[in-house]
Structure 1
Amino acid sequence: MKTLILQRYGGPEHIEFADTPRPVPKPHEILVQVHAAGLNPIDTMIPKGTFKPIIRLRLPSTLGSDVAGVAVEVGLKVTRFKPGDPVFASVLDLGTGTLAEFVTVPEHAAALKPANLDFVQAASIPMVGLTSWQALKERAGVKPGQKVFVPAGSGGIGTFAIQLAKYLGAKVGTTTSTGNVDLVRSLGADEVIDYKRQEFDEVLSGYDVVLGTVRGDALDKSLRILKPNSIVVSLIGPPDAAFARARRMNIFMVFVFAFLSRGIIRRAKKRGTTYSFLFVHPDGGQLTEIGKLIEAGRIRPVIDKVFPFEQAKEALAYLEQGRAKGKVVVQMR
């Protein structure tokens, strides 16, 4: 089968197409014929080695983390799926990749595709959906009436997180460029800051939750808009000691991550807020719940551009520019 492979860490020259054997599902896995694969920023960072301390790949490795397709074979112990089922999933950190004609997916990571989405739309959902769910619903416990700040509202995470926060009953603030103001408002954003004209920390105040998605000084600026007893959930780091312990890293890595995060944790405490780092994990049960919201019309996918499989490298390069409005998807079939 045709597969997009990372041969070794480095630049895009180490990413190439290859013919690889069709995988065979283990007892608790399903074999999915890939119809589309959604791309995420982490898919452009993994090849550079950015996540080597966290994600251990056995190179060469197939790239891609989100998938939508049809189950063509199921393992002997699979009970929730049968051949012919349309499914979607995230396989991040599960030892496999989705930019291939076929991929094996653990049963626990998969969910039935929402009936009102095509495969391209479904492939755009898993990682941004799970990240938003785990950050806002699980970690932050967003409640009706709270105020949630989601920076970069027109990006992949932003477009989904705004909608989920609104579903949870929150008032949502975001930042975006002039051309995307109407888009984020249509998704439910209540307070929209055009970052080319204003600094969000000079305008917003009284927020309960910040979703950290933008690198640089945005995280520190976010502390200024929070009220006491609020929470910052960062997706971009720095990782903290709790994260290292949860992944059962050795004591040295616990110390390293505690050292890296000590500054932001200290500054957050001074303002009476709590900082934590979130690294998304696959979860088919949560995807099922997300699928129900999509089928009910509470959340809709936002897709910027679709590339054919043959242009998957170009799709990764386009995503890395950081200008996509919503998601970038690679279509196989």
Structure 2
Amino acid sequence: MLHHPASPPPHVISYGGSMTRLAWATGAGFADSDADLPLLTEAAARAGLTSEVVVWDDPAVEWDAYDLVVVRSCWDYVPRREEFLTWAASVPRLANPADVIAWNTDKTYLRELETAGIAIVTTAWSVTGPDDLPPAREWVVKPTISAGSADTARWTDPARALEHGRQLLAAGRPTMTQPYVDAVDSEGETGILLFGGRYSHAFRKGALLTTDDDPRELPELKEDILAREPSAEQVAFAERTVAAAGSLLGTDLLYARVDVVTDADGSLRLMELELTEPSFFLQHTDVGADRAIAAILPRLP
């Protein structure tokens, strides 16, 4: 198990030597709860790099002073997405880039991946009536712009699923409705991390949603996570997914997290492709932090 240093104080925290090379962008108040940050910082130092934890909407930060800004725990972006995208576009050297973030922070990107041949969990978009619900015993309803399962719920009653979706739509928030994948309750989701397009490590995420419970209001930060050795099929699926996204976006990706589930017929399906601010869960691997830095090094001047 890797050692965790004490959580840094807020605002800007410098580690290592005198010359800043990297910035880890976070949201105000989230540095302490982002377990990846100290491990990334330690790995950067081992590679001879200096890095800082910086709040993305701090007006005092000079972003062009950094060789690379890496988006991390900017988990407060959802209600301020346009402001966040404007900030991303203003950063000269950002990973993942601003156009990737704009595409990935609206889950309608799943439609493009499906068209590109990636199997996704069956999804109905902005459902308003019972005829539009996908066949299922349970449904998950969520806004297309959300993070950490906020405003997401699992329903057995189609009327409640429809009402949840209508409330979101009335608030100007497009929705997605999916059949609940039963395997999430038994085997969980498999999250597969790729850095620089190469497989790094994986983890198991247990079920988060309770049946017929009110939608959670805030992003879920406490998750049931264990290390997992993925199958060759899962890794290949993740690699195909990231390659498809890279082709659609016309860029290579510094990091990607591919969340995969097993459907009732045994096939793999994409739950989400997280290219913006996903947790890497580096505390569950001895190699992930160093592999992340190894992917960063070729991007530095």
Shorter-chain TM range is: 0.3 to 0.5
**TM-score with structure 1 setting the length:** 0.31
**TM-score with structure 2 setting the length:** 0.33
Normalized per residue, the structure richer in strand is 1
